[in-house]
Amino acid sequence: MTEPVLADVATGHAQISFREVVETHKRSIYFLALDLTGNHHDAEDLSQDAFIKAHRGLKSFRGEAQMYTWLRRITVNTYLNKRRKKAISFMRFFGDEDEPEHTPSDELAPDRSAERGILRQHVERALDTLSPREKSAFVLRHYRDLSVKEVASSMEVADGTVKSLLFRATQKLQKELAYLQNEIDRS
């Protein structure tokens, strides 16, 4: 079986293999998946699923967007679909889906590292209170530094929808993390 080859649609040159696409984008897609899921195991699963979907949908890639933009859209949509399925499954069976907590390893002094780890856990818990769409918009905008227009393109929604999602996400996060500000003020 031969490996699928992508042709540069805009210029008609430069054929590259899908393996090269994966090698080029695997880190950035993994870190996007990690930002969305909050843990290594789910991020690996999500990025793998996204690349599988990309491989299957390769014929539909028209080259109108950059390859990373297309892969990012697939990753976000895969995440949203998985979250939707989990929610339906949870509602149907009232199952308990505990996710292991992600603790980053810092090369900082132990006390600073511990503080950052605790802060990150608080933020991740607060992010988990957001809807999947709100979390996706927030992560793409604030963790990935995409413009509102790029977030809208990735999520296949209007710019105004992204702004609304970001506003609601920010309001919820401020409410969820208000207790941290009180602790800082008391220090």
Name the β-bridge partners of 6. Answer: 16
Residues 6+ apart with CB under 8 A from 160: none
**Does the predicted TM-score (pTM) go above 0.75?**
no
How many C-beta neighbours within 10 Å does residue 27 have?
10
What are the tens digits of pLDDT across the range 61-111? 877 778 898 999 999 999 988 877 665 544 443 333 444 444 444 444 566
* 104-187 CATH: 1.10.10.10
Angle formed by the axes of helices 148-155 and 67-93, nearest 10°: 60
1-102: CATH, from 3.40.50.1820, 3.40.50.970, 3.40.50.880, 1.10.1740.10: 1.10.1740.10
User: Domain limits of the chain?
Assistant: 1-102, 104-187
CB 26 within 8 A of CB 47: yes
What are the tens digits of pLDDT across the range 141-166? 988 888 999 999 889 899 999 999 99
